[in-house]
Structure 1
Amino acid sequence: MHSEIYLDANATSPILPAAREAAQAALSDTFGNPSSSHGAGLRARALLDDARERARRVIQAGNGRLLFTSGATEGIQTAVLSALCAVRARRAAGLPCGDLLVYGATEHKAVPESLAHWNALLGTGLTLQALPVDGDGRHRLDVLRELMPRTALLCTMAANNETGVVSDLGGIADVLEACGSGALWLVDCVQALGKLPLALERTRIDYAPFSGHKLYAPKGVGMLYVREGAPYTPLICGGGQEAGQRSGTENMAGIAALGAVLRALEEGGTFKTTAQLAAARAPGDGAARRLPDLVFNAPFEHALPTTLNFSVPGMSGKALLDLFDAANLRVSAGSACSAGQAAPSHVLVAMGLPAWRCANAVRLSFGPLADDAFIDAACARIAHCGRALGAAPPPAQCATVDPVVPETGQGSVTALDRDELACFLDRHPGALLLDVREACEHAAGGAQLAGRATRNLPLSRLADEGEWLRDETRPLVFFCRSGKRSAQAARLALAFGQRRVWHLAGGLALLG
């Protein structure tokens, strides 16, 4: 239970070993500037050209543009800027142009934010219009047909980052063709690379951004496909790199690493195929069902097999995330939880799901590098979490304790970091180490600090221990997963009369 199992690949992925080696080689050996004409520069240029050609073949870019970027957000910004500059030019020339910027209601926030930003900055005065989705999370094509005559730019995604729902891109293309629309089309392909077949040259798609760190390349590198003939305006101007399409000296280490991932995709044998990924989901489905009354939030027939999004009645997403984290199983809450108040997922809200599912969803995601041994270990760990829930059910609500802290001079809370903890325990061998995670978290994975035994006293029960807290004479050190609940527990101990207490800043997450 001490080894970490990472199931948050839709957020970011680990680095492919070959990609790490390629990046290191670019930093140490092929470090020249690809714009330089000497030997070192020419070697760097060859590496850059090889990565670009591999990218073109993998996504089947045809005669379209393929430029390297810092990631998908830059690609989205560039595409939106290009489209809106074209709209403004058409209007200035008196040519017909739609007045709507249509985007899928479940898009990543980078899309509507970019649309609003450039629409205001360029003064195009278009209206942003969300395209609704149905209960399965797929775009309402009937509504799209109504909107297309007025649409200047359409933005959709190939697959959703929260639910894994795969868009009906063929159906969308049919609507555009049937309407005879001249609208430009941006498709966020971040979650598609390595998981869905891509043949962009045979599609109606005008812009397709990608991000390397979602598929085993480092953060800070991505690419943008632009269909041949689609309008293009550089987001970054300067020295004319990337054939004048994106200035700034290229991130050669990142591009080399992305090139290694593209090589693995092109040659095959490294990543699971689509069929193998579909087969890998079945045991994950079975293991997740060990959680009581679990409900999946997206239909499997329309979703990537690498993504499971679910909710559990009576459990907040934060409580579920804490449970998994206690078992060293890294997942994402499908919604933010701040001060005990869950912000519902805009994706699930758009799908029309019940409020409790929208506010308490959890996402498990893995990449196509996951082998059978990894899947089996993850499933065993998920099943263990289900058993821990049965042995020690969580409280109905997220524990929130925020007592009134005594006036200055009446006591203090001291935060200990990882290095200070060992020194503190050497000075105070009799200190009492209090794990304030909930009982189900403790059951999913106990904890020791510096090899010392600890006592589990959940934050939700701490208020009942006022007399004990008041009378305890040993130094008290509180800890939890992230440091938030331990700080609350320390303040509560002060309120009950302790003169000085300690807590582990950053919690178990920073102990590795």
Structure 2
Amino acid sequence: MSDFLLQGSQNNQVYLDANATTPVLPCIADVVSHTMQICFGNPSSPHITGIQAKHLLEQTRQKACTVIGADTGDILFTSGATEGIQTAIVSTLLSVKNHQLTEPVLMYGATEHKAVPNTLAHWNKVLGINATLLPIPVNNKGILDLAFIERHVKNALMICTMAVNNETGVIQDLNAIETAIRTHNSDVSWMVDCVQALGKSALALSNTSIDYAPFSGHKLYAPKGIGLLYIRQGSAYTPFITGGGQEGGMRAGTENLPGIAGLNKLFSLLLDKSNGTFKSPDILADYRKQLHLAISDTFGDITYNHDFDCSVATTLNFTVNDLTSKEVIDLFDAAGIRVSGGSACSTGATRSYVLDAMGVSNWQSENAIRLSFGPAATAQEIAQACASIRALKPILQANCLVVSDSATPHQEVCAIGLTQYRHQGACSWLYVSEDKHAVIIDPIIELLPRFEKIINTQNLILMAILDTHKHQERASGCQLFSDLFGLTDNQEQDDKLGWPDAMSKIQIGSKTLIKHATPGHSEDSVSYLLQTADGKIEYCFCGDLILPAGLGNTLLLGGDAYAMADSLITLDKVINNDTLICSGHDYQQCFAMTWQVQKQQTPLLEKLLTGGITRDQFSLEKHAFDQQKQQLSTELCGYIEGQPDKNTQQIDVDLAIEMLQQANTYLIDTRESYEHGATDITQLFAINADKIFNIPLSRMANALTQRTLHKGNRYIVLCRSGNRSVQAAVNLAHLGYENVYNITGGLALCH
């Protein structure tokens, strides 16, 4: 790892993802370090060092009992909550393997952490239990349906619920759940995930009939790799890890004494009410109120996805109504504010199953932000967090992401030229001329609020809102957009795709938009060609006729492979090799593709255009290809064979800094402009601003037509994590830029 990374500092970051993990408190880290170096004995050893270690272990066990209110039962030290969940479920399922139920079920809360249903499903299959997994519904506040439990619990072999939800902070009424369970089934095994409750919600496990309760240290300032499992006296138990007989034979393996020492200190802090490390519920509620106001002041139109009255104060789950979660998280991250989208364990998911279960809208589920702080947060930390969040407002305003509340807002012109906007693989395109005339092509309904802000804040003169075809997989946004921006009242339309009546061309500044019929993907498909003053076709907006490195699906309604062949041949005669192809979908996130590269990467297209096959042969091959692909992906609007591999040249930050001192080497920041504006990378790389290009992937097509980049130069590409920049590097390599390098790990490894 580079010295540059090692010398970096996290002092300026605002960490608001405590539900994922917490930093280890300094006093706990000191105890852990001391145990590693001084009190390092094996608790199973008979000498004094071992006896001291054993004493620490048992003392921690007693403190744990006091903290969670367990006068009886066993406390088993584990590697964390996941092991505790495995142990409880395996113990239960082995004990009920010979059940006599005719329709056995395994019940779990629909908003449970995925570790629970996934573990139930795994061991249900492995052990041959063959019970039905039955999720317990929740209401719109995330509270479990008690009537559902009462109806089904008599057939349950096990029921799993949680005390506090990890995404929303929603608190379950354990007493009410217990009544619903035990009134109808006094013997069923009941596990309660208490991971997010520790330190935030009072626990008295001995006063309940809960059989198992897993906990995890790293969710509350202790190290990772240590946790515990409460097991009620008399509940079924089978060792999940066997071997040397540690933990009274309940769990083999030398105990993680440093981790246990960390828990010991944590429990001492929780028990010492005079210490003040862990804040009272009233103080935590005040912290939440401050953050709530800062978020609302900054982003404006916010929807909170949970009821504060039935949630712990340390979690805020919200959706910015006009911005995607990716945009918000990227902006936060660029400004040093760490939040997450839903559960950290569900990274990569496109929506929140927790919020889906609560019945929120698709937009809320897909774009939820989880902001969480720990119960040991200080007033100074919360104040800094609020200040950092509020500092984002000018950046949001300057980039048309929120409407300015100033009478004379200072805004960058963020829309001149071509910009791509994406939603779940679909693309909308906005072209704006120098004199602020604009056209929107293939409008996506979900992006309507975003376009409204751009049009209004930039005072754009909207000339047309056009569909390339009636998209088979989604409703057209054309009418909604036209109604919003007043185009419907001003002019009649001669077709259903938005093209103005009696106009053969649309003038957009010095350039001209031309409509060209290109059926094939659908019967009504057209392509819009943007022509420069000297007659060159700069962009071809082709909808789903052509996809990057592929062609549109001809098996959807209105598709015709023979008509597609005709369209491609006629299109080839009117566009240029360096015309940028702007598709309606971009499943591989290519963002920019010239017609020349498109032909090179699409074998069937190249054969058709070079005379290697006839229209009839193209039609047969395309039909067969689509049938084959449709068996795997029935809903895609087009299929590709895959872009040819391009090896990106990966470099570390030290080499990047060295290379950037050379005259012909430049840095490309592929983050969006609002992220770029939140980070001073000139200082980070010790270079002048003229050595940096901010070219987001959404603006790459525009940069290519503007001749921003030159193939003789060397370019080092950067983003937040290295994912967008490697995509940009691959795209540029396909387009003939040979000297492109990607910084491995992006800015995340530059601090």
Shorter chain as denominator, the TM-score bin is: over 0.9
Partner Cα separation in structure 1 for residue 212 and residue 738 of structure 2? 62
| Residue identity (%) | 45
| Deviation (angstroms), 1:337 | 13
Query: Unaligned 5+ residue runs, structure 2?
Result: 1-9, 402-419, 428-588, 602-642
Partner Cα separation in structure 2 for residue 335 and residue 199 of structure 1? 27
Query: Unaligned 5+ residue runs, structure 1?
Result: none
User: 8 Å contact 2:20–2:344 — kept in the other structure?
Assistant: no
* 1:466 corresponding residue in structure 2: 704
Structure 1 residue matching 2:121: 3-state secondary structure: helix
* 1:9 corresponding residue in structure 2: 18
Partner Cα separation in structure 1 for residue 49 and residue 645 of structure 2? 66
Q: Is 1:208 the equivalent of 2:213? A: yes
| Deviation (angstroms), 1:50 | 1.4
Partner Cα separation in structure 2 for residue 410 and residue 35 of structure 1? 55
Partner Cα separation in structure 1 for residue 74 and residue 677 of structure 2? 53
| Deviation (angstroms), 1:364 | 0.6
Correspondence 1:109-508 to 2 at 5 A: 109-268=114-273, 269-289=276-296, 290-334=298-342, 343-393=350-400, 396-397=421-422, 400-401=589-590, 413-426=648-661, 428-448=662-682, 449-453=684-688, 454-467=692-705, 468-471=707-710, 473-508=712-747
Structure 2 residue matching 1:187: 3-state secondary structure: strand
User: 8 Å contact 2:592–2:700 — kept in the other structure?
Assistant: no
Structure 1, 325-334 or 492-501: larger mean CA deviation = 492-501
Higher Cα Rg, which structure: 2
| Deviation (angstroms), 1:275 | 2.1
Structure 1 residues 396 and 204: CA distance shift in structure 2, 3 A = farther
Partner Cα separation in structure 2 for residue 154 and residue 41 of structure 1? 40
Equivalent residue for 2:90, pick from 72, 77, 81:
81
Structure 2 residue matching 1:367: 3-state secondary structure: coil
| Deviation (angstroms), 1:442 | 2.2
Letter matched to residue 89 of structure 2 = V
Which consecutive aligned stretches of 4+ in structure 1 deviate over 4 angstroms post-superposition? 335-339, 402-412
Partner Cα separation in structure 2 for residue 176 and residue 422 of structure 1? 63
* 2:537 corresponding residue in structure 1: none
User: 8 Å contact 2:660–2:687 — kept in the other structure?
Assistant: no
User: 8 Å contact 1:413–1:500 — kept in the other structure?
Assistant: no
Structure 2 residue matching 1:209: 3-state secondary structure: strand
Structure 2 residue matching 1:363: 3-state secondary structure: strand
User: 8 Å contact 1:35–1:45 — kept in the other structure?
Assistant: yes
Render the CA deviation track for 1:126-166: whole Å, top value 9, x for unaligned.
Answer: 21100011111110112111112212211000011111111
Correspondence 1:89-100 to 2 at 5 A: 89=98, 91=99, 99-100=104-105
| Deviation (angstroms), 1:409 | 13
Render the CA deviation track for 1:374-419: whole Å, top value 9, x for unaligned.
Answer: 0011111112224322221357536943556789999974221123
| Deviation (angstroms), 1:481 | 0.6
User: 8 Å contact 2:41–2:49 — kept in the other structure?
Assistant: yes
Structure 2 residue matching 1:503: 3-state secondary structure: strand
Structure 1, 357-366 or 381-390: larger mean CA deviation = 381-390
User: 8 Å contact 1:33–1:249 — kept in the other structure?
Assistant: yes
Structure 2 residue matching 1:286: 3-state secondary structure: helix
| Deviation (angstroms), 1:336 | 8.8
Letter matched to residue 699 of structure 2 = R
Structure 1 residues 411 and 17: CA distance shift in structure 2, 3 A = closer
Partner Cα separation in structure 1 for residue 728 and residue 46 of structure 2? 63
Structure 2 residue matching 1:32: 3-state secondary structure: coil
Render the CA deviation track for 1:425-459: whole Å, top value 9, x for unaligned.
Answer: 34x25422121211121233332342223332222
Partner Cα separation in structure 1 for residue 184 and residue 346 of structure 2? 45
Render the CA deviation track for 1:263-315: whole Å, top value 9, x for unaligned.
Answer: 11111321112222112100010011121311111111111111111111232
| Deviation (angstroms), 1:175 | 1.0
Equivalent residue for 1:70, pick from 79, 82, 97:
79
Structure 2 residue matching 1:83: 3-state secondary structure: helix
Structure 1, 302-311 or 469-478: larger mean CA deviation = 469-478
Q: How many residues align?
A: 506
Structure 1 residue matching 2:97: 3-state secondary structure: helix
| Deviation (angstroms), 1:25 | 1.1
| Deviation (angstroms), 1:490 | 2.1
* 2:59 corresponding residue in structure 1: 50
Partner Cα separation in structure 1 for residue 102 and residue 37 of structure 2? 51
| Deviation (angstroms), 1:331 | 0.7
Structure 1 residue matching 2:144: 3-state secondary structure: coil
| Deviation (angstroms), 1:55 | 0.8
Structure 1, 462-471 or 278-287: larger mean CA deviation = 462-471
Structure 1 residues 369 and 336: CA distance shift in structure 2, 3 A = closer
TM superposition score normalised by structure 2: 0.64
Structure 1 residues 174 and 480: CA distance shift in structure 2, 3 A = same
Partner Cα separation in structure 2 for residue 378 and residue 82 of structure 1? 44
Letter matched to residue 466 of structure 1 = L
CA RMSD of superposed structures (Å)? 2.6
